[in-house]
Amino acid sequence: MSVEYPATLGMYIGGEWVSGGGRDHHSLLNPATGEMQAELPLASDADLHDALEVAKHGFATWRVEAPELRGAVLRKAAELLRERADHIARVTTMEQGKPLAEARGEVIAAAGLIDFHAGEAVRVYGRVLMRPTGMRSLVLHQPVGPVAAFCAWNFPALNVVRKIAPAVAAGCSVILKPSEETPGTAVEVMRCFQDAGLPGDVAQIVFGVPDMVSRRLLLSPITRKLSFTGSVPVGKHLMKLAADTVMKMTMELGGHAPVLVFDDCDLEKTLDILVGHKFRNAGQVCVAPTRFHVQEGIYEDFARGFAERTKQIKVCNGLSETSQMGPMANSRGREVLERLVSDARSSGARVLAGGVCGEGRGFFFQPTVIADVPENARAMNQEPFGPVALLSPFASVDDGIREANRLPFGLAAYCFTENGRRQNLLGDAIEAGMVMINQVRATWPDAPFGGVKESGFGSEDGPEGVAAHLVTKTVHVG
């Protein structure tokens, strides 16, 4: 086993780190080497029962705590995250694969997000409606209750913070099941909250067999909100479970982001921005640009420029200083890509770069560019969630918009054009929760992040992220 990776991984239940005790285990692999690096304890039914009872108690006390105190605890947690960023980034790279610089940037971004929520904790306002003869109505926003949260492995620090920080700011308690594939980062982030003074009954983390954990937490009347980040099929399944107790939900699901590149864009600049963004985190990003629809006049130049830049990307273990792209996080993601590339080839598409696995025992896949991908190729319809860029030409603005809106997903979309009137049209017409025009950044602490259509509903970040943890009550006073 590796000596650098945390030797013990535990669950945090009721303010105690628990492991061992005859619990089942999950073996954790390093994606860059394929070697086993730790064992993760999995929750028993008794653990989940305990966590629910603790969360019930934690909610009763935290909901009446002063918002200023909630904010102060969050601010301290952000400070600790920054102090420990180098260490946490190393853990992230060893379990998820992304290059160290990306991992460190993620931890710093997570700290910024916690700071934003610290400020929001004191900004939950209500309203007074004046009535005749001294009567009035009070509109109150109160914390919804204990939250059951589940998140994916692609941003092991940021995804965890997105579940804990808004719940804590709003006055809720939360039981989080992070991904069993990236537990080390979740544990380190949780330690920051613990060391910042967050009571052990307010935020807890458990690991386990996902289906067993979600059934136990979502079927309990204690849980009042489901917050999920992950794929569309699992999201639909959890929504059905949560329907039984009619709970509030935030669903951050998958996407298949279109990119519309128009003849009038600044081509070289657009290529520089897009190639870097496409292969960030080996393409395992829910808002990753994926379907590149390029206007006919610049299509061949765009394809050539994209492939040339892609071939320059240095792919190796994320711990190496020179790494620009690490391995994929797991072997199943790579197998999906192999099938999608093979299907695209057989439907007549041209592979301009990559298209094959990397060398060694790690889960490497070469950065891949495929041109002339027909609309009916599987990759054009199923989220690849990996380092694969799919290119196809379009003629008119209407054709581009039709193509962008063709799929049932609607998370992120990108447009590159210097025409201001067209920018406004695209911002209005594209069916996505986030539309980026001439730039690629989708995540800002004060801006809502979320999708439409099958990519989900309910935003994270921004004031909307805290509002999603509140219920509205009206009190009419005589």
Query: Which residues make up the interface to ligand NAD (CB under 6 A)?
Result: 150-154, 179-180, 210-211, 214, 229-231, 234, 237-238, 252-255, 286, 383, 385, 411, 451
What burial letters (b/e) apply to 422-459, b meaning 16+ CB within 10 Å?
bbeebeeebbbbbbbbeebebbebeebbbbebbbbbbb
Which of the residues 172, 265, 286, 316 is marked catalytic?
Answer: 286
Beta strands 248-252 and 225-229: pairing type?
parallel
Which of the residues 95, 188, 252, 431 is marked catalytic?
Answer: 252
Question: Minimum CB separation from ligand NAD for residue 184, in Å?
Answer: 14
Question: Minimum CB separation from ligand NAD for residue 48, in Å?
Answer: 12
Q: Quick one: 250 or 324, whose CB is closer to ligand NAD?
A: 250
Question: Minimum CB separation from ligand NAD for residue 253, in Å?
Answer: 5
Q: Which residue blocks in 227-287 are alpha helix, DSSP H?
A: 232-243, 267-278
What lies within 8 Å, CB to CB, of 363 at 6+ separation is: 31, 32, 34, 97, 327, 328, 329, 330, 331, 333, 334
Q: Which residue blocks in 279-418 are alpha helix, DSSP H?
A: 299-311, 331-346, 397-404
Closest C-alpha among 25, 250, 270 to residue 149: 250
What lies within 8 Å, CB to CB, of 426 at 6+ separation is: 260, 401, 415, 417, 435, 437
Q: Active site includes 268?
A: no
CA atoms of 337 and 346, how far apart (whole Å): 14
Q: What burial class does residue 133 get, using C-beta atoms within 10 Å of its C-beta: 0-12 exposed, 13-18 middle, 19+ buried? A: exposed
Rama region for 60: left / alpha / beta (φ>0; ψ in -120 to 50; rest): alpha
Could you report how far apart the first and last alpha carbons of the chain are, in Å? 68
Q: What burial class does residue 100 get, using C-beta atoms within 10 Å of its C-beta: 0-12 exposed, 13-18 middle, 19+ buried? A: buried
CA atoms of 15 and 305, how far apart (whole Å): 53
What lies within 8 Å, CB to CB, of 101 at 6+ separation is: none
Q: Quick one: 41 or 71, whose CB is closer to ligand NAD?
A: 41
Question: Minimum CB separation from ligand NAD for residue 347, in Å?
Answer: 23
Question: Minimum CB separation from ligand NAD for residue 44, in Å?
Answer: 16
Q: Active site includes 252?
A: yes
Q: What burial class does residue 463 get, using C-beta atoms within 10 Å of its C-beta: 0-12 exposed, 13-18 middle, 19+ buried? A: middle
Question: Minimum CB separation from ligand NAD for residue 228, in Å?
Answer: 7
Question: Minimum CB separation from ligand NAD for residue 163, in Å?
Answer: 11
Question: Hey, which residues are catalytic here?
Answer: 252, 286
